[in-house]
């Protein structure tokens, strides 16, 4: 599933978007989906975050994989994330290595410890300087035929076309 999907950056949205002098649409490469990750991508599309819980040791893991990284067992059950977590660490990107993301800088990538016990990485919206330990919730960004998970604080954006949108467990919900 290696396709690209155009997305209008927030700075170019609105009247006159993509007109003379405005930034071109940002192109996002769709993820490569395999048998292990397909349920997670489908859940994101539906506004949910699917995690795996090992049936042997009970630990929750992400990303999806065929065996538990903690005990080696292959059995698991899918569990839905509650929608919240805390910022473990973060980095601000000021210069991108890929020109397709030039209109997005600066942006913030956060390592977030989910309430379920695993850690995920994703963009933090808005791209302000977060505090370590700050509570964040989920924000789902729809890119045509796939959905990206971002994190947002209580004051994060919600709803603009191509931007993080509220959904089950999203920012402004129980986890924010």
Report pLDDT digits (tens) over 78-117: 999 999 999 999 999 999 888 888 888 999 999 999 999 9
- Which CATH architecture best describes the domain 84-152? Beta Barrel (2.40)
Sequence spans of domains, the chain: 84-152
pTM across the whole model = 0.72
Inter-CA distances, 102 with 54, 94, 105, Å: 40, 9, 6
């Amino acid at each position: 599933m290696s396709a690209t999907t155009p997305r209008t950056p927030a700075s170019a949205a609105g009247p006159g978007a993509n007109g003379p002098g405005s930034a071109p649409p940002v192109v996002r490469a769709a993820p490569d989906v395999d048998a292990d990750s397909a349920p997670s991508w489908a859940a994101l599309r539906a506004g949910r975050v699917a995690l795996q819980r090992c049936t042997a040791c009970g630990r929750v893991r992400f990303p999806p994989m065929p065996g538990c990284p903690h005990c080696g067992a292959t059995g698991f059950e899918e569990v839905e994330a509650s929608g919240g977590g805390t910022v473990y660490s973060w980095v601000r990107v000021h210069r991108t290595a890929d020109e397709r993301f030039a209109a997005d800088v600066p942006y913030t990538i956060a390592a977030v410890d989910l309430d379920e016990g695993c850690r995920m990485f994703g963009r933090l919206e808005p791209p302000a300087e977060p505090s370590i330990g700050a509570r964040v919730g989920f924000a789902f960004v729809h890119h045509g035929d796939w959905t990206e998970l971002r994190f947002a604080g209580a004051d994060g954006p919600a709803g603009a076309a191509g931007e993080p949108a509220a959904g089950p467990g999203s920012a402004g919900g129980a986890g924010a």
